[in-house]
Amino acid sequence: MAQRTRTLSDLEAAELRGRRVLVRVDYNVPLDDDRRITDPIRIEATLPTLRLLVDAGARVILVSHLGRPDGAPDPAGSLAPVAAWLEDATGWNVPLLTEAPGSSELATRVAGLEDGEVVLLENIRFFPGETSNDPAFGTALGELGDLFVGDAFGVAHRAHASNVGAPTVIRAGGGTAVAGRLMEREIRFLRDTLRSPVRPFVSVMGGAKISGKIDLIEAILPTVDRLLVGGAMANTFLRALGLDTGKSLVEEDRVQMAADLLERGGDKILLPVDVVVASEISPSAQTRIVDRDDVGTDDRIGDIGPATRALFASEIRGAGTVVWNGPMGVAELAPFAEGTFEIARILADATDQGTLSVVGGGDSAAAAEAAGVAARMTHISTGGGASLDLMAGKELPGVSVLEVVDEVADVDGDAPDDAPDEAPAQVRTGGSTDGGAR
Ligand code: ADP
Ligand code: MG
């Protein structure tokens, strides 16, 4: 029988009331020079999990890292701004506990928690045992909770004490470890959807490098119906076709790899037919549109051209599932942003018509936001490396450590239709969450 990750939604409120719940979240948010949070999406995205736990009367102990403090306390890495943000957003008291895991002070503080109370431990990377997944540190953390909720998707591809050591200890002691609401969505859309995509299944890939995404390309190539390639990644493919790419960014040592992929992918792979070029990639660049055979020796390719946008659009419209990872050009600079923005708008329109759209990668998510269409996508992942690995079909330690349950088959023998009951305005997802076929 098929199995799936056990989730918080599988638990009854009675199983949570009065229990100490250790919740690993990813509050690794960007801060400005005044230590103000510039983008709270990662905190917002955990609110469905936190509200469920508080409503059930759980005693919530939040654990997160922030930055890379390297195993020692560092005032610049304090989670104090996050505790303050949570208090503002929810109206709860969220004390920041600075005592070390394993200390009697912290044990006493946690033992005194009341039902529905929420506390946040100080940056877990202030302690050397975190990233080394030190067993003693994992035990100290695990002893704080009766059960574990994994909601830190952004670090799920790492095996650290707080996301792997602690849940292992809790499970060994007879407690459960389940996916939180955010982790549940990430698994559903990045793993389950890609295992059985509604067809046609189209992947849009771009960004700077083939090398960073080769595992995903390899994994997805056999299952996709179309692979649309843009960004600097496409330059390396154009070189593999023997075309002149001028002074464009090309991974010279990956040209052969691109040629092999073209050979294997056959007509599944669509490359740009025209491109936006300039003599420099800058905010004030003077651009021209040229066919891909006409790139000059001094040209730099910065975006896909209008004919390519139309070609890609015709594949995206009518797709059952689209996975998008990597901008079509240098989307952070206005002269080269339009190809990416156009693809984002077309994908949002398709999503309105029933296409299931999954966006992975920080720069792609930022581009969807800048184009004003992020909320219309089915799912925008909160993970970078973790989302690439999960989509590529790899085991993630932070997911594997969670309990699995048997999938209950419905009368057709299909997986149950777990139509989402959530529509939290705070979570940056929206559109058609169920992605009906068309
Ligand atoms: P994501 O974060 O969505 O996975 P990547 O990090 O792989 O995306 O790629 C984003 C980067 O790719 C951006 O810095 C962008 O400037 C760069 N890029 C995209 N197209 C080009 C191009 N034609 N030339 C140079 N850089 C490019
Ligand atoms: Mg990136």
For residue range 220-229, list pLDDT tens digits in order.
999 999 999 9
Q: Which residues line ligand 1 (CB under 6 A)?
A: 206-208, 212, 231-232, 249, 301-302, 325-327, 329-330, 332, 361-364
Nearest CA-CA partner of 144 in 126, 120, 160, 179? 120
Nearest CA-CA partner of 125 in 61, 62, 73? 73
Domains in the chain, CATH or no CATH each: 2-185 (3.40.50.1260), 199-319+321-354 (3.40.50.1260)
pLDDT at 410: 54
Distance from residue 332's CA to the centre of ligand 1 (Å) = 9
Condensed to tens digits (0 to 9), the pLDDT of residues 325-343 reads 999 999 999 999 999 999 9
Please report which confidence band the pLDDT of residue 70 belongs to, taking 50, 70 and 90 as the band edges.
confident
What does 149-218 look like in DSSP terms, one character per residue?
EE--GGGTTS--IIIIIHHHHHHHTT--EEE-HHHHHHIIIIIIHHHSPPSSEEEEE-SS-SGGGHHHHH
pLDDT at 408: 79
Burial letters for 365-402: b for 16+ Cβ neighbours within 10 Å, e otherwise?
Answer: bbbbbebebbebbbbbbbbbbbbbbbbbeeebebbebb
Q: Residue 7 pairs with which residues in a beta bridge? A: 179
- The mean pLDDT of the chain is 93
Ligand 1 pocket, mutate which of 363, 382, 390 (most atoms under 8 A from CB): 363
pLDDT at 433: 38
Percentage of residues in the chain with pLDDT exceeding 90?
89
pLDDT at 407: 85
pLDDT at 92 over 80: yes
Contact between 135 and 7 under an 8 Å Cβ cutoff? The reply is: no
What are the tokens at 270? Answer: 């669509």
Q: Is 385 a catalytic residue?
A: yes
pLDDT at 2: 84
How far lies 72's CA from each of 68, 204, 436, in Å?
Answer: 10, 41, 49
Please report which confidence band the pLDDT of residue 413 belongs to, taking 50, 70 and 90 as the band edges.
very low
Q: Residue 288 and residue 250: Cα distance in Å, rounded?
A: 20
Q: Which atom of ligand 1 is nearest to the CA of 235?
A: 23
The H or E element that residue 244 is part of is: none
Q: Is 247 a catalytic residue?
A: no
How far lies 209's CA from each of 40, 233, 243, 252, in Å?
Answer: 28, 5, 18, 11
Q: What mean pLDDT comes out for the span 309-338?
A: 98
pLDDT at 437: 36
Name the residue type at position 134. Answer: D
Q: What is the pTM of this model?
A: 0.87
Residue 308 backbone zone (phi > 0: left; psi -120 to 50: alpha; other: beta): alpha
pLDDT at 383: 87
What are the tokens at 344? Answer: 């984002």
Q: Residue 107 and residue 120: Cα distance in Å, rounded?
A: 14
Q: Residue 182 and residue 5: Cα distance in Å, rounded?
A: 13
Find out whether the peptide bond into 200 is cis, omega within 30 degrees of 0: yes
Q: Is 42 a catalytic residue?
A: yes
Condensed to tens digits (0 to 9), the pLDDT of residues 127-173 reads 999 999 999 999 999 999 999 999 999 999 999 999 999 999 999 99
What Rg, from alpha-carbon coordinates, does the chain have?
23
Q: Which atom of ligand 1 is nearest to the CA of 231?
A: 20
pLDDT at 435: 37
3-state secondary structure at position 201 = strand
Q: Residue 289 pairs with which residues in a beta bridge? A: 276
Contact between 374 and 345 under an 8 Å Cβ cutoff? The reply is: no
Q: Hey, what's the torsion of the CAs at 377, 383, 384, 389, to 10 degrees? A: -100
What are the tokens at 261? Answer: 């992929």
Query: Given the DSSP bridges, would you call strands 3-5 and 404-406 parallel, antiparallel or unpaired?
Result: antiparallel
Q: Is 209 a catalytic residue?
A: yes
Q: What mean pLDDT comes out for the span 4-11?
A: 96
pLDDT at 189: 95
**351 backbone dihedrals φ, ψ, rounded to 5°:** -60, -40
pLDDT at 53 over 70: yes
pLDDT at 409: 62
Please report which confidence band the pLDDT of residue 11 belongs to, taking 50, 70 and 90 as the band edges.
very high
